[in-house]
A and B are shown apart, each in its own frame.
Chain A
Amino acid sequence: MIERLAYLWPEIALFIATCVVMVMGLSRTYATRKATATIAALGTFSAAVLSFLTTPDGGEIEAVSGQLYLASMVPYAKTLIGAVATLLLLTMAGTVDRAEEADIAKGVRSFDPLRSNRAEFYAFFLFSITGLMLCADADDLIWLFLALELTSLPTYIMVAMSTARNRGREAGVKYFFLGAMGAAVFLYGFALIYGAVGSTNLNEIAVAFATGGISSLGMLGVLLSILGICFKIAAVPMHFYTPDVYEGAAPQVSGFLAFVPKTAGFLSILLICGAVGWNYVIPPDGVSPLATVMPSAEGTQLPEVLRLTLWVIAALTMTVGNVLALLQTSVKRMLAYSSIAHSGYMLVGVIVGPGIAADSFSGNGVAAVLFYLLSYGVMNAGVFAVLAALERAPGRDGEPREIETISDLKGLCRSHPMLGWPMVICCLSLLGLPPLLGFFGKLPLFTAAIRAGEIPLVLVLGVNSAIAACYYLKLAFAPLTEVADDADGDPIVAAPFRTRAAAAVISAACVIGLALGGNLLMQGARSAASYTEADAIKSRVPQANAAPVDRNVAAH
């Protein structure tokens, strides 16, 4: 256990930062309170650096954690989480307590620790990131469940407290109840897996699946787990909350929601699918896909029933997300639906798995998912940062309002070039236009799926990219080509938080820069996605190959 701690340094750093932030936020001095954001940023940044530096590479992780497959995913995932979290934190400045602090500064009111939320907000942010990193570490279903809940619980509160309006609270409540239902579903799935295998340890589950096949009970458990986790990644059929919650929350928190729970969900799905293994063959005719499935050395895909489920979920998620996004006029609702669609794209990578050509980036679906998570995190942070950095000037009611429709973005490149151009660049990147990062995120999904022979899925992906172009085009070119019509309402101004604009600019720079110099990151993703299940299990369990022989013969 003590070795285990050694590679939890990033989480430990985050936890220390959390504690410091919580205490400092109660200080009477404004400067100290203000420093909480900096401390939080230091926490996430140092967590990213620690993940990069202190996590041992594949073999050693295995030694300390007992993690068998996808072991090298941990440092890559945690580094990317830390980096994107730092970016997201930049957008969070002034989310809560803005009016409060203004009043205190004016001397209207004195500081009251009971009324201040700032420290809690940053603490919840950090807790959520800690949970996300723990998801990557998970080697046990209990651990995974706790990590997922640690990721999600703070987000419910963040949504509710992010705006002073009732909409935020409504969104928070909706998110909480549906989230609880999702959690119940995957917890039930975990329980069924435990019932089928007799262990909650993912490695033992993997070995049991590899040696004894997957029973119907086990498969049901896996399917339910994935269905429940679909809530986290906002995939059909658990996507209904997404537009309402994104719309209700402050834009920066919506941006947070689009990355953090989604990443947690994808890491969990990868871990669970990894335990099942991507080394199955299509079952021969006459065998129910629900019956016991055995892995084979030659196979390169998930068990048929799981593959089919994910296939349907992926296709539906892409299509539903994109088609409904077409109909939106509210920017946040549109981005919410598009974030559903992006989950669908990434599911393609999950279906493909490490693929036949696991050692190459172009054929490895897991690597493609990991790289896409990074690209999506960056582009998404950029778009939401721009939304967060803009607001309608306070009208008669004296409170600034967030911008809502696409027409609010018109002419942004002229009025606020430092916000308008990042918007254009990030949206074009989300659209998947070359040579921006989004294109190079989508290309590996494309290549991996084609190499795995999933041609129909690739066509669905391609058609969906085209549909996505319709609405991203509106979003991308409203700032650039349209002229602002100031007729209605109060003028759009930049929010008085420089870090939000900075986050937008940094994201846009990354969208271009990482596309041009992305080879190193792709290398990282590729080695992170090296899937070692087969070897590890074979070496540990000598009889692993003995059982499935008959079925192999039948399969061929």
Chain B
Amino acid sequence: MILFSLILIPLLFAALLALAPAAQARSLAFLGMLTSSAAAVLAMLRFDWNNGAVFANEKTFPWLGELGIQLSVGADSVSMLMIALTALLGPICVVASRTAVTERHRTFFGWLLVLQAAMYGVFIARDLILFYICFEFTLVPMFVLINVFGSTNRKHASVKFFLYTFTGSVIALAGLVYVAKFNAELPVSATRESLAAMMQAGGTPAPGPGVWTFDIETLGRAARRMSSTEQAWVLLALMVGFAVKVPLFPVHTWLPLAHTEAPTAGSVILAGVLLKLGTYGIFRFAIPFVPAAFAEYAPLIAQLCIVGILYGGLICWVQTDVKKLVAYSSVAHLGFCVLGLAATNATGLSGSILYMINHGLSTGALFLCIGMVYERYHTRSMKELGGLAAKMPVWSTFMIFFTMASVGLPGLNGFVSEFMCLLAAFQASSAWGSSTTMVEGAMDAGLWGSAGASTVGATHGGLGPWYAAIAGIGMIVAAMYLLLMVGRVVWGPLVEPHGHGGHGGHGGHGGHGGHGHDAHGAAAGDHHDDHADAHGPLPADLTAREIGVLAPLAILCVVLGVYPKPLLATLEGPVNQTVQLIDSARSMGLQLEAPAHTTSPAQGGAPTQGLAQ
């Protein structure tokens, strides 16, 4: 029940908020967020962190039994960590939007609460359709947040965001339904049969093979029995859906736009949690459902990640819009995250899940920082901002801190997970053993797009040192663009937009917003900004509220950077389980389905030999 309350509480408060006067909206939203976060904390307290792989607080209600849909929830440690991240960012977003959102309070906070409910729903769902419903329903609130409260190009951004994700997930749904179909066609096992008959009297048959159901557990077990061709197609369908959400190159183009146009709270949620729905989906569905296919195509996925890492990084380098820069850095960062998953070993999976948390913290905080500057100067252009350390020392401290966390400075959280993902990619090579063929092995995987001109069969699912090496370059690029950005914005001579310049020397006074906006009407965007000063002037540097928003994130960045062990320990269970699935699938595949490998599209369809080792 406690998990259901995670969905219900925000929805309830959203309904209350719709009826309450607009003036109460923010406080009601904050109360709602706090209550749901409290419920999340309660769920976490009741969770047995030593048995991370066990789904706790499981609860199932019948719903649309005719379609095999149940209201079924449960959470393992991965879900729990994602819930924790959601529960942390939710209230922070409400507090952070205090001055940023100045009109249509009910719309903003109401949809923020709905979004929170949907995100919780994704992480606790144990029924595929329930998962899908929540996964899809995150689109509506986010669409509204971007479309109404975004900046200049918000209409285009929101529509692109919606359509990309919607299209992807419809295709993913087709893949998931195919798995359900496969399961329904399996022979009913004897014990299941009696069980099913028993349950039939009560209404719906128990989920199991041979029964039409969307129960994730059952479908996962069934899906692994599919032939390798079927697995490959299902993987393709799932990856189309999840890769758009992550986003992986080349379907990432919606992200920078959506991020740049979204209001601060929207960006934080988008970067902090919504992108993780994709990686979570890969971890929860793509890998356990079709481990053999995932292992087989992991190099291909890893290549997309690496392209994303480098491409995202290089684009960041030439950005002048700070927010866009951070947005593109998300593309690169999520590339690392999926690279860890594609490594298909324990290090990679743990690192990747840790990365989801860490990226949520550091990038979320970066967006908050940028939002705070935007509220004061109404610009995000690096050309108009510089040397803010002189004016805003506290802000600058936080900015540098979170940038370092994002770059992956050892001692802060980003380092741990990024290092783990790289290490995993490095380790995940069966070619490593036979090091003479290492280079060819990497080439065989099509690293440079070479199709199947291969001699060695060292690449069944493994990545290689080359992957890590090239991705490592991405890390350096990340350091370059992020430091360049901080260098310009924080250090150097003080540069402020016109209208601020005259006051700049005095420091410590408010009222920048209005002046800045007047002078920069075109740059600052649309009429939504006109009201930015309704709450009175903001001081030059951060207020106590803003510090209070950033401080918890900063503390967590340090804690997770210094001592990530408890998290890794609790992730061990689910991660090991998943790795076992991959390994057994891989060994089965080698024994039984070697021919399938030779004609796989990943290898360009050209026949290769010597796969059997």
Contacts and interface: CB of A to CB of B under 8 A. Distances in A.
A523 B66 contact: yes
Contacts of B67: 361-362, 440, 443-444, 447, 522
A450 B66 contact: no
Interface string B165-208: 01100110110011011001000000000000000000000000
B133 A481 contact: no
B66 A446 contact: no
A463 B137 CA distance: 19
Interface stretch (A46-54, A231-239, A376-384, A465-473): A465-473
Contacts, number: 94
Given A446-B177, A466-B170, A363 B137 contact: no
A357 interface: yes
Interface stretch (A274-282, A342-350, A428-436): A428-436
Interface string A442-468: 011011001100010011001101100
B163 interface: yes
A447 B177 contact: yes
Nearest to B147: A481
Contacts of B171: 459, 462
Given A444-B67, A462-B173, A450 B178 contact: yes
Interface string B521-546: 00000000000000000000000000
Contacts of A443: 67, 129, 177
Interface string B394-416: 00000000000000000000000
A415 interface: no
Given A362-B66, A440-B67, A451 B174 contact: no
Contact of B63 (A428, A458, A519): A519
B163 A473 contact: yes
B181 A451 contact: yes
Q: Chain A binding site: helix, strand, loop or mixed by DSSP? A: helix
Interface string A526-553: 1000000000000000000000000000
B140 interface: yes
A440 B137 CA distance: 14
A446 B162 contact: no
Interface centre among B63, B66, B137, B170 (most CB of A within 10 A): B66
B242 interface: no
Contacts of A435: 133, 137
B64 interface: yes
Contact of B170 (A360, A361, A440, A462): A462
A512 interface: no
A357 B212 contact: yes
Contacts of B68: 362
B136 A434 contact: yes
Given A357-B212, A522-B66, A481 B148 contact: yes
A540 B136 CA distance: 50
B144 interface: yes
B504 interface: no
A477 interface: yes
B174 A450 contact: yes
A480 interface: yes
A112 B64 CA distance: 55
B266 to A, nearest CB: 13
Contacts of B181: 447, 450-451
Contact of B163 (A451, A455, A466, A518): A466
The contact size tier of chain A is 35 or more
Given A450-B177, A466-B163, A480 B144 contact: yes
B595 interface: no
Contacts of A360: 66, 184, 212
Contact of B180 (A428, A440, A447): A447
B174 A362 contact: no
Interface string B111-142: 00000000000000000010011001101100
B143 interface: yes
Contacts of B177: 443, 446-447, 450, 458
A439 B136 CA distance: 11
B159 interface: yes
B387 interface: no
A483 to B, nearest CB: 9
A480 B148 CA distance: 9
Nearest to B180: A447
Contacts of A363: 184, 212
Given A357-B184, A466-B166, A434 B132 contact: yes
Contacts of A480: 144
A363 B180 CA distance: 11
Contacts of B137: 433-435
Contacts of B147: 477, 481
B499 interface: no
A455 B177 CA distance: 11
Contact of B65 (A433, A465, A466, A519): A519
A518 B64 contact: yes
B411 to A, nearest CB: 43
Nearest to B104: A414
A362 B212 contact: yes
A52 B64 CA distance: 22
Interface string A352-372: 000001001111000000000
B6 to A, nearest CB: 16
A518 B66 CA distance: 9
Interface string A178-196: 0000000000000000000
A444 B214 CA distance: 13
Interface string A473-502: 100010011000000000000000000000
The 5 closest A-B pairs by CB, nearest first: A522-B66, A466-B167, A434-B133, A361-B66, A462-B170
9 contacts: A362-B212, A435-B133, A450-B177, A451-B181, A458-B177, A465-B170, A469-B162, A470-B163, A481-B144
Interface of B: 62-68, 129, 132-133, 136-137, 139-140, 143-144, 147-148, 159, 162-163, 166-167, 170-171, 173-174, 177-178, 180-181, 184, 212
Given A433-B140, A459-B171, A463-B170, 4 more contacts: A443-B67, A447-B212, A481-B144, A519-B65
Interface of A: 357, 360-363, 428, 433-435, 439-440, 443-444, 446-447, 450-451, 455, 458-459, 462-463, 465-466, 469-470, 473, 477, 480-481, 518-519, 522-523, 526
